[in-house]
Structures are given as C-alpha cells and as structure tokens.
Amino acid sequence: MLPQFENIQKIGKDNVDAALKSLGAVSKGAQAIAVETADYAKKSFEQGTTTLEKLVGVKTFDKAIEIQTDYLKASYEGFVAQSSKIGELATNTAKEAFKPYEGFAKQASAK
C-alpha cells in the first residue's frame, strides 16, 4: 500500500511541475507576442501619420495617388511580415508549453 501511495504522490508532483513549467512558457510567449504587437501598432501609427503629413503637402493628384499606393504597399508588406512573426511566436510558445508533457507521453507509450 505504501509504495502505491509514494507512486501516486510522485505522479502528482510531476504533474504540478510540468504544469508550472508549461504555464511559465505560455506566459513568456504571451508577453513576447504582446511586445511584438505593441511595437507593430506603434510603427503602423507612425507610418500612417507620416503618410498623412505627406498627403497634406501634396500639390498634384498623381503625387497623392503615388503616396497612397506606397503607403498601402508598405502596410500590406508590414502586415504580412508581422503575421508571420506572430505565427512563429505562437508556434514556439505552443512547443515550449508542451515540452514538459513529452515525458508523460513517452511513459504512457512504454507501458
């Protein structure tokens, strides 16, 4: 009876340790995603403001179209790059969050 209790106690401790490590990885990943998102929002706002300032000083319709086209192209490229970066961060966060549980899967398949 006593060895079973010790085994259950060890399993419980291992589960808590894995959960804490996983939570730490998720927290770190979420923080990295939040920082990236805030940086992107700031850059996007600055880019929009700069474009608006250029548009205010424009003298011809063709130049206004050129400025708008450049802005839209840069915004689209920035959005695609940012989406890719956030996707990578989310993937890495998921991998790190599940690492502590890999040992449990190996143990279960060995039994």
User: Domain ranges in the chain?
Assistant: 8-102
C-beta of residue 36 within 8 angstroms of C-beta of residue 78: no
Q: How many angstroms separate the CA atoms of 110 and 2, rounded?
A: 24
Q: How many angstroms separate the CA atoms of 11 and 37, rounded?
A: 38
pLDDT attached to residue 72: 96
Of the candidates 85, 89, 88, the one whose C-alpha atom is nearest the C-alpha of residue 32 is 89
pLDDT attached to residue 46: 97
pLDDT attached to residue 89: 96
Of the candidates 44, 45, 46, 52, the one whose C-alpha atom is nearest the C-alpha of residue 76 is 44
Q: What is the pLDDT along the chain (111 residues), one digit of tens a residue?
A: 567 777 777 778 888 888 899 999 999 999 999 999 999 999 999 999 999 999 999 999 999 999 999 999 999 999 999 999 999 999 999 999 998 888 776 666 665
pLDDT attached to residue 2: 66
